[in-house]
Amino acid sequence: MKSEITYSPAYTVVPTYECFNRCSYCNFRVDLGTEDFFSLENIAKQLRSLEKHLVIEILVVSGEVPLLSQNRATWFAKIYKICELALAMGFLPHTNAGILSWQEMKQLRLVNVSMGLMLEQLNPKFMQTVHQYAPSKEPELRLQQLEWAGKLKIPFTTGLLLGIGETKLDIEESLKAIAILQNKWGHIQEVILQPHSIGSQQQSDIPSFELTHLPEIIAQARKILPESISIQIPPNLVPDPAFLLECLAAGATDLGGISPKDEVNPDYPHPTYQSLSEILQPAGWNLKPRLPVYPQYYSWLSPSLQKAMSAKKKALIAQI
């Protein structure tokens, strides 16, 4: 019997690349005031082009605007409207837009089947190094966001960024913090172990994470995290087929959202379903598409979101 590895057929929409954070490893952001917000008309056109493809999740990823900025309301309204549009067109939104207020999270819960925010690393020392000019990467803010998601019963994704100067103890403490929150609220459906991969737009000379350490960290995560949490690795950042299989053997269970472009790591194209299947099938793995919300959280969704999820689930089953 083949073992199962899941992925989410996804498409990423970026309301804006403008971001007030300046993480030294970033390959995503542009400076504030250098870009116009994407129009809803253009986003609708993008989504209409997906109708003949197996796309379930619309991943809304955005640069961040300061909480007290005069542009905050406009920025948030655009994200909300994108999620509404995606739902109306039959897709399931998942938003990861950085730090949100309690009220913003509460509102987005109405139009997202799941949401996410990377913890990255818990140790505050990174605020003096790679996050020196990234105020929203303050670990306590991120932990608070994960706590709020639990209180609001939002199915949630978080994760660690590897290769930014962390020690083994840093990784252990970050994983334990996530485990504590999961044991308290039960809302974390997946943890991403994301290796930093050097890109053409980053400002610093931080090298790529040494991938040979990844299986050990996956195994460590599997020991620390509750079994209810899926461990996710991005296959475009683990390009060697034999090594990808080694990571699965170590305990990774999900390959995340597979879309035409990795907006966070634009130098590393996502593999296709077919190319991944050609690697996994001979090794005894069955690659299976999934929804962006896991079955144990279906009852957490509003009736309208449950209806949208049910329709997409039937469409998914029909195409498998």
CA dist 147 and 140 (Å) reads 10
Q: Is 8 helix (H, G, I), strand (E, B) or coil?
A: strand
> What letter represents residue 300's amino acid?
W
b/e per residue, 238-274, with b = 16+ CB within 10 A? beebeebbbbbebbbbbbbbbbeebbbbeebebbeee
Residue range 204-244, pLDDT digits in tens: 889 999 999 999 999 999 999 999 999 999 999 998 999 99
CA dist 173 and 9 (Å) reads 32
Nearest to 184 by CA among 230, 228, 240, 133: 228
When pLDDT is cut at 50, 70 and 90, the band that residue 89 belongs to is very high
- What's the CATH number where 306 sits? 3.20.20.70
Helices 168-185, 139-151: crossing angle, 10 deg rounding: 20
Residue 320 pLDDT exceeds 70? no
Q: Which residues pair with 162 in a beta bridge?
A: 195
Q: What integer pLDDT is reported at residue 155 of this predicted model? A: 98
Residue range 110-134, pLDDT digits in tens: 999 999 999 999 999 999 999 999 9
Range of the domain at 54: 3-319
Q: Name the phi and psi angles at 19, rounded to 5.
A: -150, 135
Task: Give me the chain's average pLDDT, please.
Answer: 94
b/e per residue, 67-79, with b = 16+ CB within 10 A? eeeeeeeebbebb
DSSP H or E run through 275: helix 273-280
Q: Name the phi and psi angles at 172, rounded to 5.
A: -60, -45
Q: What integer pLDDT is reported at residue 230 of this predicted model? A: 98
> What letter represents residue 224's amino acid?
I
88 contact partners, CB below 8 Å, separation of at least 6: none
Residue 179: Cβ within 10 Å count:
18
Nearest to 270 by CA among 245, 229, 233, 216: 233
| DSSP code at position 22 | B
Average pLDDT over residues 75-103: 97
Inter-residue contact 82 to 35 (CB < 8 Å) = no
Residue range 189-206, pLDDT digits in tens: 999 999 999 998 888 889
Q: Which pTM was predicted?
A: 0.95
Give the percent of the chain with pLDDT over 70.
Answer: 98
Q: Is 159 helix (H, G, I), strand (E, B) or coil?
A: strand
Q: Which two tokens stand for residue 134?
A: 């990234």
Q: How many independent structural domains does the chain possess?
A: 1
HSE-up (13 A, CA, CB side) for residue 103 = 5
Distance of CA 195 to the CA centre of its chain: 13
Residue range 261-287, pLDDT digits in tens: 889 998 999 999 999 999 999 999 999
